[in-house]
Structure 1
Amino acid sequence: MNDSEPRNPFTKKGFIVGAAIVGALALSAIVLGVTSLGTGGGGTKTAAPGTPTPTSTVSADAESVCGLSGYEETGILTAPPTTEWTIVGTMAAPSSAEAGPGETDSDGVRTCYAHTAEGALFAVSNLWAMGSDARLAPLAVEQLTAPGPGRDAAIAADTQQSNTGTSVQIAGFKVLSYDGENATIDTAFELNTGSLISFPSAVKWIDGDWKLVVTDEGQPPFRPTTLQNLGGYIVWAGVQ
């Protein structure tokens, strides 16, 4: 590559390290340094949607850590959920009495989400928002990443976020898969430049809450890609 060729921002060291420090949380650390985006090679696989299956008897393992009701073994979302939005860091974060977050600690870490497809969506969205805050991001990684070498790698990483004047907000979503134990949520983001990005996230139900899944290197299992529009996504935004 010569100096005149544009570089793919997703191959830059800053992107890789930025993804590692917060797993897949710090979209700001990843995206706010991006001035132009090439179409990435996303490896996501879509799952056939299922019909929500509420279960009347919830086992101890399936119960929410803070007692939020609701449990689905399968589920999809076909419309935007009723949502209250709060700015966390630089991003609007969703909340509802049913889906969560059910708890916010003294540091501002937002935890405890319903054991439903909607709860998984709210968990992922709040993880992204907390990742936009340099103070909250490492705390969220520590509390809300699935245990394992990937979590350890993300905690051990050391990356500083920089302010480039670019901001990003949630614009929509797709539930790619949900089986009660694992969920993959594809979030569409809009930059203040008008560009749109897709970035799927995987979460797993562990110890009464949704925890982010990362690779053993502490990086996201999926890659972001650019979008031409929000076709196929459910439009859902706290900032218009």
Structure 2
Amino acid sequence: MDDLIYEKDYRQVEPTERDEWSEEVYDRVLNGGMLKAYSEAMDKIPKIIVPEDKKNYEYLLERCDAFVKQHHGRIEGIVDYHHWHSEINLFLPFVEFDDPEDLAFLKEIADKSHTVCFSPDEEGGIRVHIFINYFDEWLPEGAKQLIEYDAIMKDERLASLLGMQDSFKPEDEPDLERIEALLERFETETDLNQNDVFYGVFQLIMKSKDEDITLGKIANLMEVLLYLVLNGGLDQEE
């Protein structure tokens, strides 16, 4: 009888142009300042608790506590109001879901969280990291898209790699040009930086209670804010 032989070759193959592009984009996002600019802008936006996420966090925390108690491990849970998320960490000597009830629980974890990670614990055993967003920005989609656009455009190489000229519809171009011109005026004619401007605009959005925010309306609100600042109708420190 012949031997049963199983072989696979996992040696590194020559990178393709797509691989090289992906690696450069990843490097620019991490090290080019885009994430920092985006995070600083988003941190200024008022946050709200997502009721469904809150319910899921509390449910999983209770279930995980019982699971950890049964398997003689420890548990950590946090709703982080500084980094705006919630997480549950289980520290166990080993992890096994070996009966229908445990497998159903594993499925619940996947269904009720946003990410789950199994990794070795520094002290030995296994760490199960369960991440739930919990918070969301009070922010119309058009405004959030503009913040993403602005953060990427601050890194010319990243914008070029991503072909940002295609990220908006052609009919949006005039409004984008208005917004960029207004931001330039804020930088040169006032003491406000772009993050301050975005925050001021979103304050106006909240006061207007308009749920249908477009790039054109954002540009209009920026014009209002600039007028108020330049004409003494709004203290730049407010």
Q: Say yes or no: TM over 0.5.
A: no
* Structure with a larger share of its residues in strand: 1
Greater share of helix residues, 1 or 2?
A: 2
Bigger relative CO (Cα 8 Å, ≥ 6 apart) = 1
Q: Based on CA coordinates, which of the two structures has the bigger radius of gyration?
A: 2
